[in-house]
Amino acid sequence: MKFSQFISEMESMVDARDSINRDLAAGLENNFENPEDGFETIKAIFGNYGVGEIPLDQLNPEGDEIAVDVDTQDGPLVLYVIYSLTDNDEYEFYAELTDDEGLEEIISDGDDEKEID
């Protein structure tokens, strides 16, 4: 199935994003031995939806925060990924497909948390 076909079968782009985000949350629920495994999981989930190659390269062994543009027929989306090395030497991941407004909200939430500490 192509991504555009998947979106057209959903009632809205929001429904499509929600479906992908549920799969991302489930797929990234467990930690990974290395960052490559986490990114391979993300790529596989996107592949299930017919999204082309997602450029997730140059992985930092300490962890990182990445935003990757994802072009769709209904406009651009952003794949936001944050991963970090845990005390158990495993990598925990969080990923979300969002739009520019959602990305700003995610980033500003992270800034708010830093200010509280």
Strands (E), 1-117: 63-70, 77-85, 91-98
User: What pLDDT is attached to residue 64?
Assistant: 92
pLDDT value at residue 73: 67
Per-residue pLDDT of 78-108, as tens digits, reads 999 999 999 999 999 999 999 888 899 988 8
Q: What is the extent of the structural domain holding 86?
A: 3-116
Considering its fold, how many domains does the chain have in total? 1
pLDDT at position 3? 62
Please give the share of the chain, as a percent, with pLDDT higher than 70.
77
Q: What is the pLDDT of residue 117?
A: 42
CA distance 115 to 110: 9
Q: Over the stretch 57-75, which tens digit does the pLDDT of each residue have?
A: 678 888 999 998 887 766 7
Q: What is the pLDDT of residue 25?
A: 97
Predicted confidence band of residue 115 (pLDDT cuts 50, 70, 90): very low
